[in-house]
Amino acid sequence: MAEGGYNATLCNVDFEDSIESHFQDTVSGGAFVNNERLVRVLVENAPGRILKLEEDGALFYRTSDGKIDQRAFGRQSHKRTCYSGDRTGGEIMATLIDLLRASNVRFIKGAAVDFLLDGNKVTGVAAFDPEGAKFFLIRSKAVILTTGGGCRIYKITTNSFQGTGDGFAIGYRAGAELIDMEFIQFHPTGMVFPDSAKGILVTEAVRAEGGILLNSLDERFMEKYAPDRMELAGRDVVSRAIYREIRAGRSTPHNGVYLSLKHLDPDFIEQRLPQTVEQFRDLSGVDITKELMEVSPTAHHIMGGLRISEKTETNLKGLFAAGEVTGGIHGANRLGGNALADLQVFGYIAGHSAAHSSFESSLGKVHDKQITQIHRAIISPLQPKQDGKRPSQIRHELEELMWANVGILRTKEKLTHALKDIQRLKSTPLEIGNHNTTFAYEQLEALQVRNMLIVSEIIIKAALFREESRGAHFREDFPETNPSWRKNIIISKEKIHTVPVVVF
């Protein structure tokens, strides 16, 4: 869950800040391939949305003169990140849930499986409720896709168990265009054990407070990679350095590197990094005031996603999208604090756009043939098969191969190899051992794995296509940024092509 903050030019702390500066930071952070019209919408609306959240009951931390506090986040020219402790996302979510509770909006529990289509118009959603092992349809005049990210395709990720990228795959199957899918942000430091905590973010503050990185030979290896800024070099630089150390075999027992605070006073650590002390104690039993942390880069955010307009329209009629499932806003790399702003700004617009569009349209057609197809796809893993594999087995294989080949350092060779492996996994029959009619979790997992394979395939194809290095996308065989590649890659079921960057 997003912890860090929300970027908005409230100028509560830094009077020099401006909408223009937020725009420039976002676009330069995104290595100049952001859709600048979307960025404009983001930076102009971010302040208004956070003020509205406060009015609706959210509480953000205050400055000494009582205004919403703002702090400095990486690669930004001014202090503009608003926050509510280390649970900013949770604060926003709880506020929105309360608004929903006060409304007459109905909650329906279930996982979206596919869109119902009438030509290129989305007319509803086919869904699966694992608790009752039930397949059901929701007809609708408009649909908003807000399924979030999909970094669960990597074995080390900050994402929750639900970050399986279903929205990208559902959109793709329905014919939606996806943009910038090659750009995956890796945060340099995530936990590596136990399994349940693998990938959970270790805040940059640890390094900011003096934490140093060591390999298994006790070498402070950042000296080799970034002698000037050392551990506080850019996230991509630090991520690549750690990854290279691990790849060279200079790794810790749990396949990471060490992050050490041992040279600092325990009281200082307790006082400055209370959340991190608690996190390591509660989730892994490590006392960071005395022991070394083990960390590894961790897949954090997919910059790419469904291509949307300023009104959050997709290329499919009746389908709107917002949040991490969309692409174009953050370009090749996202700034910390821009994700929460993104989903609040565009989520709000999506609600309005969908409502307006549904006022103007009637319920669309539902085609029996399509329902039969979707149903078959859902129930097929239930049939006994020869040489089938459990969804969790396929998921583990996928996580490994994505991590090794489509992670922080990419080459044509590795990407091509990964693509072949994905094809093999896609043709492996899924077989499940859980035929429950209550809590059919493995059936849901089978659907997720099917989606994860598609998302991975899209990412690899886009990564192969972009023969340069830019932002979070690093090709060892094309290590330079190539100005002629200042364009976006669009992938749909039919084709892959490039389009010029939308400038403002």
Report, as residue numbers or ranges, the catalytic residues. Answer: 187, 207
Rounded CA gap, 344 and 99, in Å? 14
State the helix-helix crossing angle for 391-405 and 441-465, rounded to 10 degrees: 20
Q: Which is nearer to another protein, 12 or 405 (CB)?
A: 12
282 binds another protein (CB under 8 A): yes
436 binds another protein (CB under 8 A): yes
State the helix-helix crossing angle for 19-29 and 36-55, rounded to 10 degrees: 120
- Select from 107, 45, 127 the least CA-distant residue to 312: 45
What are residue 127's phi and psi, to 5 degrees? -135, 165
81 binds another protein (CB under 8 A): no
Least gap, CB of 29 to another protein (angstroms)? 26
Rounded CA gap, 11 and 482, in Å? 36
55 binds another protein (CB under 8 A): yes
Buried b (16+ CB within 10 A) or exposed e, 276-286: bbebbeeebeb
- Residue from 74, 90, 210, 351 in contact with another protein (CB under 8 A): 90
Q: Which stretch binds another protein (CB under 8 A): 165-173, 282-290, 413-421, 457-465?
A: 282-290
- Residue from 16, 108, 195, 368 in contact with another protein (CB under 8 A): 195
Q: Which is nearer to another protein, 1 or 379 (CB)?
A: 1
Q: Which is nearer to another protein, 283 or 404 (CB)?
A: 283
- Residue from 20, 48, 62, 287 in contact with another protein (CB under 8 A): 62
Cis peptide before 266 (omega within 30 of 0): no
With a CB cutoff of 8 Å and minimum separation 6, the contacts of 331 are: 26, 27, 29, 30, 31, 32, 33, 34, 180, 183, 303, 471
Secondary structure class of 444 (helix, strand, coil): helix
Rounded CA gap, 306 and 324, in Å? 9
Q: Which stretch binds another protein (CB under 8 A): 20-28, 58-66, 239-247, 335-343?
A: 58-66
Least gap, CB of 97 to another protein (angstroms)? 9
108 binds another protein (CB under 8 A): no
DSSP letter string, 297-359: EEEEEE--EEE--TT-B-SSBTEEE-GGGEESSSTTSPPTTHHHHHHHHHHHHHHHHHHHHHH
Least gap, CB of 371 to another protein (angstroms)? 26
Q: Which is nearer to another protein, 293 or 325 (CB)?
A: 293
| Residue 160 token pair | 């929750």
What mask, x for binding another protein by CB under 8 A, covers residues 158 to 187? Answer: --xxx-------------------------
DSSP letter string, 389-413: B-HHHHHHHHHHHHHHHSSSSB-HH
Q: Which is nearer to another protein, 59 or 503 (CB)?
A: 59
51 binds another protein (CB under 8 A): yes
Rounded CA gap, 330 and 308, in Å? 13
CA-to-CA separations, 260 to 198, 224, 226, 293, in angstroms, rounded: 18, 18, 18, 6
Check: CB of residue 471 under 8 Å from CB of residue 31: yes
- Residue from 216, 255, 370, 392 in contact with another protein (CB under 8 A): 392
Q: How many residues bind another protein (CB under 8 A)?
A: 52
- Residue from 109, 369, 376, 495 in contact with another protein (CB under 8 A): 109
286 binds another protein (CB under 8 A): yes
Q: Which stretch binds another protein (CB under 8 A): 20-28, 89-97, 112-120, 365-373?
A: 89-97
Q: Which stretch binds another protein (CB under 8 A): 195-203, 218-226, 327-335, 343-351?
A: 195-203
DSSP letter string, 229-296: TGGGS-HHHHHHHHHHHHHTT---TTSSEEEE-TTS-HHHHHHH-HHHHHHHHHHH---TTTS-EEEE
Q: Which stretch binds another protein (CB under 8 A): 29-37, 87-95, 113-121, 419-427?
A: 87-95
Least gap, CB of 117 to another protein (angstroms)? 31
- Select from 280, 178, 297 the least CA-distant residue to 236: 297
What's the chain's length in residues? 504
Q: Which stretch binds another protein (CB under 8 A): 135-143, 226-234, 412-420, 429-437?
A: 429-437
Least gap, CB of 413 to another protein (angstroms)? 31
- Residue from 70, 146, 284, 289 in contact with another protein (CB under 8 A): 284
| Residue 170 token pair | 């559902």
439 binds another protein (CB under 8 A): yes
What are residue 184's phi and psi, to 5 degrees? -120, 125
Q: Which is nearer to another protein, 229 or 435 (CB)?
A: 435
Q: Which is nearer to another protein, 192 or 460 (CB)?
A: 192
Q: Which is nearer to another protein, 392 or 481 (CB)?
A: 392
Interacting residue ranges for another protein, rule: CB under 8 A: 1, 51, 54-57, 59, 61-62, 64-68, 84-85, 87, 90-91, 94, 98, 101-102, 109, 131, 160-162, 193-197, 200, 279, 282-286, 390, 392, 432-439, 441-442
